[in-house]
Amino acid sequence: MTRTEPNRSRSSNSDSEKNSGNGGGGRTTAMRVIVPLQGVVQGRGGLFLGSVIPCAFFYFLQFYLKRNRKNDESDNSGEQNSSASSSSSPNSGLPDPTRSQSAGHLTELTGLPRSLSRILLSPRNSGGAVSVSGRVNCVLKGGDSSPYYVGQKRVEEDPYDELGNPDGVIQLGLSQNIKLSFDDWVLENPKEAISDGLSISGIASYEPSDGLLELKMAVAGFMSEATKNSVSFDPSQLVLTSGASSAIEILSFCLADSGNAFLVPTPCSPGYDRDVKWRTGVDIIHVPCRSADNFNMSMVVLDRAFYQAKKRGVRIRGIIISNPSNPMGSLLSRENLYALLDFARERNIHIISNEIFAGSVHGEEGEFVSMAEIVDTEENIDRERVHIVYDLSKDLSFPGLRSAAIYSFNESVLSASRKLTTLSPVSSPTQHLLISAISNPKNVQRLVKTNRQRLQSIYMELVKGLKELGIECTKSNGGFYCWADMRGLISSYSEKGEIELWNKLLNIGKINVIPGSCCHCIEPGWFRICFSNLSEKDVPVVMNRIRKVCQTCKSQN
């Protein structure tokens, strides 16, 4: 502003010349203050206009900034407004020192009546039935009729047993790995070794709910082993939780506010609908991948989904990928991961990389690259957007242990999740059991190796069998699943046709597989077959059953 000094005198001269001029008195004072207003103040209504116009100008400027801020920032006043308008942002309850009092008040006032309104519909007179919260209704209804649960239930009622119940339903839906390698671990670990760890002072008292340091170190070692030592994990960046579900839930809570969304390439794990949505209020936007691309996600489609969401006013906070992918079992290449990181950087969003099958990579061609390895060399600014979920129970073939880990580079996420683990803690006996299981590197190596070999051989058997029946599978290199293309067997190329076939497989074939619609696959006719439950002698039984279904399908056609 000081640089306008020489101009000012000149312009004032010209002013007195050119202006029709009744503002000589106001000239000198107004001039000095703000140059653009000079002419206005001189005029008759000058004083009024001169104050209204800058005000209006700044109003629009602020308006613009505010709109902009709402999209780009999370913890500023813009966000307070958006949280006030969204019915269920938990932030309204928490005092925020940066917020003005009136803003806080506004949040409370607008936040409350909305959730209230739902309850008001139900009878409120005294003595009436007391109502549960509105948000729990979606949990109550949540997916009981989905084939995923119907199938599980059928298996529970009538499970296959080679001797006891040879006509029962064979479980090919649930990813547990019990038959494969855990036996070894228990047989070869003397019981004393375990019970030594389980001394009373160790298991009974309060211990950090995010995991003992000893366990974290063991887990870090195990994860390195599972990734073939290509990257070393820092134990201080680990937070242990009770199961991958709660790990994903905690991350969703920490990374996104209620009403925000994550991008999820489909087909995806059926569990996300519950883990991400139920309690956190975060939405999922599916990004469909197609069989033509071998179900690889493309950045173009991600981009499109991102902008479509943005247009609708939905704020995308991150992308959830699984690697090795669930259900296809494919591995993401290094290039893919870099592209993904670029995408996340450009859009300034998080990446949740679900690597629960990292230790179950069984293919020989593909190389598993952990997201941790990709960001290892990156700057902090990029690392902070990467969060990895790792499941110990899956790779250890011990799902009943319910323990998983979050590995993050983001200090705020880590400290928030550490506190949140009190809400889904890993119990001390479990921690000590795990320590004794995985702290010996030799054991770990053998375990991972046996696991891989067994998965590989059973996978080969199954794929070979399916091929003989004319059913192709996508190439799988990791995980417990194969993704089978049964498009040839469905009567109509639609979700209805798929469910019909699924019903036939369950009722006639007596095998429980997961239809693609549960994994949000947009192409009908794909099924997820979990083979880790099977032993090799079960494979012919499964094949016979599928053959039977094939025949009924063909006879109908």
Partner 1 sequence: MRLIVPLRGVIQGRGGLFVGSLIPCCLFYFLQLYLKRRRPPPTDPTELPRTSSRTNLFSRGNSIGRVRVSSRAVPVAKPSDSPYYIGLERVKTDPYDRIKNTDGIIQLGLAESTLCFDLLQRWMSENLMESMMQSDDGEFDISSIAMYKPFEGLLELRVAFADFMSRIMGGNVSFDPSNMVITAGGTPAIEVLAFCLADHGNAFLIPTPYYPGFDRDIKFRTGVELIPVHCRSSDNFTVTVSALEQALNQARKRGSKVSGILFSNPSNPVGNILSRETLQDILRFAQEKNIHVISDEIFAGSVYGDKEFVSMAEIAGSGEFDKSRVHIIYGLSKDLSIPGFRAGVIYSFHEDVVNAAKKLMRFSSVPVPVQRILISLLSDVRFIEEYMTAHRQRIRDKHIRFVEGLKQLGIPCAESGGGLYCWVDMSSLLTSYSEKGELELFEKLLTVAKINATPGTACYCIEPGWFRCCFTALADEDIPVIMERIRQLRESSRS
Within positions 307 to 366, which residues make up the interface with partner 1, using CB under 8 A?
Answer: 317, 338, 342, 344-350
DSSP string across 309-338: HHHTTPPEEEEEEESS-TTT-----HHHHH
Q: Which of 47, 136, 299, 460 binds partner 1 (CB under 8 A)?
A: 136
Q: Which of residues 75-104 bind partner 1 (CB under 8 A)?
A: 75, 79, 83, 87-94, 96
If the CB atoms of residues 193 and 460 are measured against partner 1, the closer one turns out to be: 193
Q: Which of 33, 109, 213, 299 binds partner 1 (CB under 8 A)?
A: 109
If the CB atoms of residues 322 and 424 are measured against partner 1, the closer one turns out to be: 424
By CB atoms closer than 10 A (0-12, 13-18, 19+), residue 301 is: middle
* Residue 284 near residue 278, CB atoms below 8 Å: no
Q: Is 279 in the site for partner 1 (CB under 8 A)?
A: yes
- Residue indicated by tokens 């006719």: 525
Show the 3-state SS of 448-512.
HHHHHHHHHHHHHHHHHHHHHCCCEECCCCECCEEEEECHHHCCCCCHHHHHHHHHHHHHCCCEE
- Residue indicated by tokens 């061609």: 365
CB of 515 to partner 1, least distance (A): 20
- Encoded one letter per residue, x for contact with partner 1 by CB under 8 A and - for no contact, window 205-244 reads xxx-x--------------------------------xx-
**Distance separating alpha carbons of residues 181 and 514, to the nearest angstrom:** 24
Q: Is 21 in the site for partner 1 (CB under 8 A)?
A: no
Q: Is 191 in the site for partner 1 (CB under 8 A)?
A: yes
Q: Which two tokens stand for residue 459?
A: 């996978």
Number of residues that bind partner 1 (CB under 8 A): 148
Q: Which of 103, 106, 150, 194 binds partner 1 (CB under 8 A)?
A: 194
Q: Which of 22, 47, 55, 72 binds partner 1 (CB under 8 A)?
A: 72
Rg (CA), the chain: 30
Nearest to 220 by CA among 407, 422, 370: 407
The CA angle 72-77-80, to the nearest 5 degrees, is: 95
Q: Which of 226, 239, 256, 328 binds partner 1 (CB under 8 A)?
A: 256
- Encoded one letter per residue, x for contact with partner 1 by CB under 8 A and - for no contact, window 26-65 reads ---------xxxxxxxxx-----x---xx--x---x---x
Q: Which of residues 384-413 bind partner 1 (CB under 8 A)?
A: 384-385, 397-403, 410, 412-413
CB of 466 to partner 1, least distance (A): 25
If the CB atoms of residues 33 and 460 are measured against partner 1, the closer one turns out to be: 33
In degrees rounded to 5, what are phi and psi of residue 467? -65, -40
* Residue 352 near residue 321, CB atoms below 8 Å: yes
* 283-288: strand order across its sheet: 238-241, 404-408, 386-391, 350-354, 316-322, 261-266, 283-288
At 32, is the secondary structure helix, strand, or coil?
A: helix
Q: Is 150 in the site for partner 1 (CB under 8 A)?
A: no
If the CB atoms of residues 42 and 224 are measured against partner 1, the closer one turns out to be: 42
- Encoded one letter per residue, x for contact with partner 1 by CB under 8 A and - for no contact, window 364-383 reads -------------xxx-xx-
If the CB atoms of residues 447 and 463 are measured against partner 1, the closer one turns out to be: 447
Q: Is 435 in the site for partner 1 (CB under 8 A)?
A: no
If the CB atoms of residues 114 and 547 are measured against partner 1, the closer one turns out to be: 114
CB of 487 to partner 1, least distance (A): 30
Q: Is 258 in the site for partner 1 (CB under 8 A)?
A: yes
